[in-house]
Each structure stands twice: as C-alpha cells, then as structure tokens.
Amino acid sequence: MTHRSPEEVRAFYDAHRTVRQYVTAADGTPIPLPPAHLDVILHAAQRAPTDATAQLYSLVHLRDPEVRAQAAALTTNAHMATASEAFVVCADVRRTRRVLEVSGRTPGHWPAVAVHFGIGDAVMAGTNLLTAAEMLGYQGCWIGGVLNGIDGLIDLLRLPQGVLPFAALTIGTPAENAPYRPRVPRHLVVHTDTYHDGDHDELQDAIAVMNPIASRGGQPGDWPRLLGAYFAQDGGMEKREPHLVAALRRQGMWSGEAVAQTPVH
C-alpha cells in the first residue's frame, strides 16, 4: 500500500466539493463514467465496513432517463437527471431476512436496530463510493431531498418492505467552481472522554466561522437563518417528519409502536 503524507491527506479532503452542475453532452444528457471507473467506485462501496457481516444497504443505480427524470422531480434536485451517475442509497434489511428464511431460520423483530445499522451501513457504503470517485477526479453530491418525495420514490424504485431510501448520490465531472465550505470548530465536534456542551461564546464563535456557508448573491451569510429554514419550528424538517414516519411504517421499519409483520416473499 502506498502511504500518503499528512499534508497530502489534508489536501485531498480539502479538495472535496459538493457539486450539483456536471459536464454533459451537447444536448444536456449525462456522460456516463467509463466502465472501469464505475466498476471501481462500486467495488469501493462494497468494501465499506458493516456490522455483524450483514451489509444492510442497497444502491439503486439509476440508468433509465425517464426514471432519472422522475427521481429528479421527486427529490426536487435537477442534477439527478444530468449527473454522470446517480444512485439512491438505501438502508436494506430485507436481504438479511431473506437469507435467514432460505436457510430455514426465522427472522427476528428489530425495527429500531434496522434503522440504526441500516443507515450506518448505507452511509459508509455511499461515502466509500464518493471518496473513490473523488480519487478518480470526479465530484458529487449527497441529496437529502429523497424526503421530499420518499413515498413516490418507494413506488418508482419498487422498494419492498425492509428497504428504505436514505439519500441520493450523484457523481460526475464538475461544471462549476463550487466554494470551499467551512466546518464547525473541532472542539465542538471532537469531544475528549466526555461530551462538551459549547457555551454561549463558543457557539457564537462557531456561528461566525460558519456564516460564509450561507452567503448568497454576494451578501453576507447568516448560518442560523439557514439552519432555521431547516430545523427551526415550522422549518423544512418538521414538514418532512410525518412523511418519513409514514415511510418507516410502510417499509416495516418503524419502532414507535407495534406494527403488523408482513412475511417476506
């Protein structure tokens, strides 16, 4: 294995950008990754760590232009249709249940664990995929907008019970010069031995560091305003909440109350 210096590793991760505009063909259609590049990023995804050997995730690779267009509309992310490659990253506990059934074993009932480890496995696989793509010179974008149309995505992708869309992921050659994004100061994120709850001044310092991430149209950024649009009362996340709960129930992955168990076929 070739080792990299700390400076090289830092430079690699500092080069990361979230990119939504990709180089396309003259008619605006996607330019697929070369087969060898696609193969190796999928290989990287499957080499991700997993708990208990289960690999509780699936990647739905979107190839059909009509499926891509519908996914773009459902997620309200147009680049789902124009990126070189687009995936829906799913928590998937169905496959494990089916392996148990075909082996003559009865699957247990563990919906909270399904969400916990399924999302963890999905994130690790998707992160491996994106990192491998960046090593090849591409950039990408995680898309939380699956929650904008999660019920429609379940229908579009024909996802059975036990499979839940977590996020979408696009990959391609950048057609924009995306800015470098700041991060919250490390001492508020990396805790030593016990959790450190930032005090007023530390949080105000963090806001000052993060404000540029919310800058639009040359205007000074206001990070709390941006956070508020998502996470404050009446924000976007409150509006998404009931749709996610409904999808968890529909897919048999809701642990908030007893749900009827549907046999896996």
The residues, any chain, with a CB within 8 Å of residue 179's CB and separated by 6 or more, are: 17
Lowest mean pLDDT segment, chosen from 50-59, 104-113, 125-134, 218-227? 218-227
pLDDT at 87 over 80: yes
Q: Cα(149)–Cα(71) distance, rounded to whole angstroms?
A: 9
pLDDT at 218: 76
Single pTM value for the model: 0.93
Q: In 3D, which of 242, 245, 254 has the Cα closest to residue 113? A: 254
DSSP string, 134-189: HHTT-EEEEEGGGGGSHHHHHHHTT--TTEEEEEEEEEE-BSS-PPPPP---GGGT
The pLDDT mean for the chain works out to 95
24: amino acid identity, one letter: T
Residue ranges of domains in the chain: 16-178
Q: pLDDT at residue 99 above 90?
A: yes
Mean pLDDT value of segment 84-110: 97
Residue 57 pLDDT: 98
Least confident range of 15-19, 73-77, 162-166, 216-220: 216-220
- pLDDT of 19 reads 97
- Pinpoint the alpha helices (H) of the chain: 6-14, 35-46, 65-75, 94-102, 111-135, 150-156, 200-210, 223-231, 236-250
- For residues 170 and 141, the answer to whether their CB atoms sit within 8 Å is yes
pLDDT tens for each residue of 209-241: 999 999 887 778 999 999 999 999 999 999 999
**Structure confidence at residue 246 as a pLDDT band (50, 70, 90):** very high
Q: Is the pLDDT score of 6 beyond 70?
A: yes
CATH level 2 (architecture), domain 16-178: 3-Layer(aba) Sandwich (3.40)
Q: Coil, strand, or helix at residue 7? A: helix
